[in-house]
Amino acid sequence: RPSDDDDTSVVVATRPKTKRPPLYKVLLLNDDYTPMEFVVAVLERFFGMTHSQAFDIMLTVHKKGVAVVGVFSHEIAETKVAQVMDFARRHQHPLQCTMERE
């Protein structure tokens, strides 16, 4: 209408919604039985580490009990955990690998 004095509209602030997917830490846990060399091989094989990087991370887990070995999308993290758990089981080592939301 010419004289629009009954407009009930409300102006609200908007911002572009660019929500990134959550990331997940993959953790390796220490135990008393898995051989150190096996853990080093796991870190080289599934996490693309050099032997030197893998050895350092393995020692961190051995001394501290746990370490983050990588940060991934949910799907990639799940795959890494499954690969490590399956590889450890096939070699009859009790090595544990888990993931948690960052």
The residue ranges that bind ligand TYC (CB under 6 A) are: 28-32, 34-36, 39, 58, 61-62, 95
For residue 8, CA distances in Å to 1, 5, 14, 97 come to 14, 9, 19, 57
Q: State which residue, 36 or 82, has the beta carbon closest to ligand TYC.
A: 36
Q: How far is the CB of 59 from ligand TYC (least distance, A)?
A: 8
Q: How far is the CB of 78 from ligand TYC (least distance, A)?
A: 19
**23: phi > 0 → left, psi -120 to 50 → alpha, else beta; which?**
beta
Q: State which residue, 3 or 52, has the beta carbon closest to ligand TYC.
A: 52
Give dist(CA 29, CA 66) in Å, integer.
5
Q: Which residue is nearest to ligand TYC (CB)?
A: 61
Q: How far is the CB of 11 from ligand TYC (least distance, A)?
A: 56
Q: State which residue, 21 or 33, has the beta carbon closest to ligand TYC.
A: 33
Q: How far is the CB of 79 from ligand TYC (least distance, A)?
A: 19
Burial 48-62 (b: 16+ CB within 10 A, else e): ebeeeebbebbebbe
